[in-house]
Amino acid sequence: MTWRATILTLFPAMFPGPLGQSLAGRALEQGIWHLETRDIRDFASGKHRSVNDTPFGGGAGMVMRPDVVDAAIESAADERPLLYMTPRGRPLAQEDVARLAAGPGLIVLCGRYEGVDQRVIDARHAFEISIGDFVLSGGELAAMAVLDACVRLLPGVMGAAESAAEESFTNGLLEYPHYTRPADWNGNPVPPVLLSGNHAAIAAWRAHEAETITRQRRPDLWQARAPHEMKGP
């Protein structure tokens, strides 16, 4: 079965956007995955077809109406998980991506304005997902990030050259640094071990680099490593 993504958005013209290029775009053309958008505005009724309203309790901005959003969800709902992209969500991790890529696909709700009425998020048991501790102007770019991360893991999308086996997060660490020709660039040599032909020494050097950079940049990842991976204090 083809992995299917349905995007519920007020800006369907933003898609496929970058997902129509490169790896994801090629996979889309090959039919490895399928992308469909639904314009949330098509599910608004009434004279003004309004999709949002002022927040109860006061405050800035507008809130997307639960009745309109629910009708959009209903039009797409099936066995696929429903994600709601929001900076309030649980941070997306590579293990989540792997799980989502192994399933039938995704339905992704993209909010605009101040967000979506919480009742429809709760009633539909949507998974609230964040792509980082910063605020985008809407969920669309976040949805694209999730889709890109999933699609590259689908069978037949990544070649051997782009193997996911050694990349960042797969083993709970950031990845080691990469170098290519020229061996000396503007007086900057590559680390000599990489030219040694000694595969064991190269593997050891890379493991050490990955650990060092993870400790420096991501003490949270370093602390979270499984106990069996721990090597001393």
Interface positions with ligand ADE (CB under 6 A): 85-87, 130-132, 134-136, 139, 142
Q: Which is nearer to ligand ADE, 135 or 160 (CB)?
A: 135
Residue 131 Cβ, how far from ligand ADE at the closest point, in Å?
4
Q: How far is the CB of 58 from ligand ADE (least distance, A)?
A: 22
- Nearer of residues 8 and 173 to ligand ADE, judged by Cβ: 8
Q: Is 161 helix (H, G, I), strand (E, B) or coil?
A: helix
- Long-range own/partner contacts, residues 148-152 (CB < 8 A, 24 or more apart): 148/18, 148/19, 148/24, 149/92, 149/94, 149/97, 149/101, 150/3, 150/5, 150/97, 150/100, 150/101, 150/106, 151/3, 151/19, 151/23, 151/24, 151/27, 151/28, 151/32, 151/33, 151/101, 152/23, 152/24
Cα end-to-end distance, the chain, whole Å: 47
The torsion region of residue 192 among left (phi > 0), alpha (psi -120 to 50) and beta comes to: alpha
Least separation, in Å, of the C-beta of 138 and ligand ADE?
6
> For ligand ADE, which is the closer residue by CB, 89 or 105?
89
Shorter beta-carbon distance to ligand ADE: residue 86 or 214: 86
Sequential DSSP letters for 23-51: HHHHHHHTTSEEEEEEEGGGG--STT---
Q: How far is the CB of 205 from ligand ADE (least distance, A)?
A: 35
CB of 233 to ligand ADE, least distance (A): 35
* C-alpha to C-alpha distance for 157 and 41, rounded to whole angstroms: 33
Q: Which amino acid is at 139?
A: G
Which residue, 73 or 194, has its beta carbon nearer to ligand ADE? 73
How far apart are CB 91 and ligand ADE at their closest, in Å? 9
Output 114 or 209, the one with its CB closest to ligand ADE.
114
